[in-house]
Every structure is written in structure tokens, then in C-alpha cells.
Amino acid sequence: MVEKTNVPAPIVGPGFDGPSLLAENSILAKWDSDAGWHDRDGTPMPSTVIALGVRRAVRRWQDHQIVDEILDLPLPDCDELNSAIDKSEWETGLTNEPVPPYSVWHAAYLLDPITGTLFSYLNNTVAARSRLGGSNRACDGCRP
């Protein structure tokens, strides 16, 4: 016999318009080619999730910390923001080249339909932009 339970869905502002790109009370979701979809501790995500929405923001990083996050639309031009910061202040990336401090970040909000757990997937890569950036359909071609 299957036991049915009602799991309360997390409450996230209309259109996921909270004060941060990371949804309140959510678990940060990650993806990599070795481990697939998992949380920040490496625990695998559920095989089925529901895409609740997407969002974009401009973030500035300094010393591995977010020091500015702009969520208001229209988003500012990152090139203009970065040009106001001396390149000597830019951090060094994986290729030992300076990395612009401001970049557009993309978020997808995913719900585990069994437990009601809310996941936030955030990234500023080309892959995230192509999958999430121009679409309101968060998971076209993207399945945990």
C-alpha cells in the first residue's frame, strides 16, 4: 500500500523576486560532468524535479565573495560596470588571465515533487546562458 502525504511547497516570492538570486530556504544545486546533478555537499539530486522558474542578475565577485548583486530590470551592461574598475583589481581566473568582476548570472528554481525541497541552480557559464538565459522554459534539454 502506498502512503500519501501532502508536502508543503516552499514559498518563494512571485516570479522568484526575492532579495537575492539564491532563493530563500533553497539548497544550492550544482552540475558537473563527473558527478552529474548534486547539492553543494555532493548528495545526488532527485531524478525528477519540476522547473518553477528562471531569473537573471548581475553579480560582482571580490575575494571569492559576492560584493554586489543587481536584480532590477533592465540589468546594467557588465562591460560598462567592468570598465569602471581598474584591471589591476580584477581577480585572476583559471587561465591566469584577469576575470571581469561583473557578469550575468542565470538561475533556475527546481522543486523535488516528492519532498518539496527547493533547489536553486546558479551559474554564469555559456552553457547556463544558453539553457536558461533566453527562455522561460528552464529545463529544455536539461535534466537532473
C-alpha atoms less than 13 angstroms from C-alpha of 5 in its C-beta half-sphere: 8
Task: Decide if 5 is inside a domain.
Answer: no
Task: Decide if 10 is inside a domain.
Answer: no
Q: Per-residue pLDDT for 130 more than 90?
A: no
The arithmetic mean of pLDDT across residues 28-44, rounded, is 93
> Taking the model in full, what pTM does it have?
0.77
Q: Which residues pair with 70 in a beta bridge?
A: 58
Number of domains in the chain: 1
Task: Decide if 76 is inside a domain.
Answer: yes
Task: Decide if 61 is inside a domain.
Answer: yes
Q: Are 101 and 90 in contact (CB under 8 A)?
A: yes
Task: Decide if 128 is inside a domain.
Answer: yes
What confidence score (pLDDT) does residue 5 get?
55
Percent of the chain with pLDDT over 70: 80
Percent of the chain with pLDDT over 90: 58
What confidence score (pLDDT) does residue 19 get?
83
Task: Decide if 142 is inside a domain.
Answer: no
Q: Per-residue pLDDT for 134 more than 60?
A: no
Find the domain containing 76 and state its range. 27-133
Cα 8 to the center of its chain, rounded Å:
23
Task: Decide if 40 is inside a domain.
Answer: yes
Q: Are 68 and 59 in contact (CB under 8 A)?
A: yes
Buried b (16+ CB within 10 A) or exposed e, 59-96: bbbeeeeeeeebbeeeeeebeebbeeeeeeeeeeeeee
